[in-house]
């Protein structure tokens, strides 16, 4: 029986909500209802992505390398913005975080197994030893290996383009507009990648199911 290779993105949706949607809502409320300056509002809203990192650590009892990088980016961006009063630093941290994520995806292509393989293993097996064993066995399939590398490259390039576009927007558009457009951009890019990944995974699932054992 072929492994279920269609990922479940519940953890990703939770992360988008905590790290993108709720900070945006809080910043807008603080600005429009309480007149909190943008820099201070963005610093306060950082409690949500920090909580996401903390929740991940609480559940696994370890800080993933990417989570550690994100934590450094968030804290350094907030500190620079508060010390200088320049909102660009705290806005740019969002783009830097996406850039780091894209480089992790692309850099993993140089490893024996790319990042999508490990993320797919996490999202598709639910931690079941039996499902993980079936997932690991799929690596012997050349079509599966190509698909993992191709999807890793597409996620990396998608986030790279998003990071560059948002980085340019930080210094070319009004800060109040960037605060709204930046999270919308990363949500749209992520959802497009999720939909594309699900469609490709379902097609691959049908191929593996129809293929002889």
**Cβ–Cβ under 8 Å, residues 51 and 67:** no
- Give pLDDT, residue 172: 95
Q: What integer is the mean pLDDT of 132-158?
A: 93
Q: What percent of the chain has pLDDT over 70?
A: 87
Structural domain tally of the chain? 1
Q: Is residue 3 part of a domain?
A: no
- Give pLDDT, residue 58: 82
Q: Is the pLDDT of residue 63 over 70?
A: no
Q: Is residue 102 part of a domain?
A: yes
Check residues 120 and 65 and name the one with the higher pLDDT: 120
Kindly indicate the confidence band of residue 5, based on its pLDDT and cuts at 50, 70 and 90: low
Q: Is the pLDDT of residue 11 over 90?
A: no
| H-assigned helices in the chain | 10-16, 22-34, 38-45, 47-60, 65-84, 87-107, 115-125, 129-137, 142-172, 175-210
Angle made by CA atoms 178, 182, 184, in degrees to the nearest 5: 125
Check residues 144 and 77 and name the one with the higher pLDDT: 144
Q: Is residue 54 part of a domain?
A: yes
Tokens (6 digits) for 1: 């029986």
Q: Is the pLDDT of residue 213 over 50?
A: no
- Give pLDDT, residue 152: 95
User: pLDDT per residue over 22-58, tens digit each?
Assistant: 999 999 999 999 999 888 888 898 888 888 888 878 8
Q: What integer is the mean pLDDT of 59-69?
A: 64
Q: Is the pLDDT of residue 153 over 60?
A: yes
Q: Is residue 5 part of a domain?
A: no
Question: How far, in Å, CA of 127 to CA of 180, rounded?
Answer: 36
**Cβ–Cβ under 8 Å, residues 105 and 161:** no
Q: Is residue 142 part of a domain?
A: yes
Q: Is the pLDDT of residue 65 over 70?
A: no
Range of the domain at 40: 10-210
Q: What is the mean pLDDT of the chain?
A: 84
Check residues 77 and 87 and name the one with the higher pLDDT: 87
Q: Is residue 45 part of a domain?
A: yes
Q: Is residue 2 part of a domain?
A: no
Tokens (6 digits) for 205: 């699932």
Nearest to 25 by CA among 47, 53, 50: 47
């Amino acid at each position: 029986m072929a492994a279920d290779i269609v990922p479940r993105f519940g953890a990703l949706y939770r992360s988008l909500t905590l790290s993108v949607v709720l900070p945006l809502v809080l910043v807008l409320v603080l600005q429009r209802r309480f007149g909190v300056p943008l820099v201070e509002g963005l610093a306060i809203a950082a409690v949500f992505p920090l909580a996401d990192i903390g929740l991940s650590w609480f559940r696994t009892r370890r800080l993933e390398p990417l989570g550690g990088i994100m934590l450094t980016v968030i804290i350094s961006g907030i500190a620079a913005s508060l010390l200088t009063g320049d909102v660009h630093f705290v806005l740019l941290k969002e783009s830097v975080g996406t850039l780091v994520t894209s480089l992790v995806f692309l850099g993993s292509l140089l490893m024996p197994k790319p990042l999508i393989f490990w993320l797919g293993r996490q999202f598709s097996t639910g931690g079941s030893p039996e499902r993980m064993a079936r997932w690991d066995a799929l690596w012997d399939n050349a079509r599966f290996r190509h698909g993992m590398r191709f999807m890793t490259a597409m996620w990396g390039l998608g986030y790279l383009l998003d990071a560059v576009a948002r980085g340019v927007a930080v210094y070319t558009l009004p800060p109040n507009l960037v605060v709204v457009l930046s999270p919308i951009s990363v949500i749209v890019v992520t959802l497009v990648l999720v939909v594309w990944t699900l469609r490709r995974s379902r097609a691959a699932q049908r191929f593996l199911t129809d293929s002889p054992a």
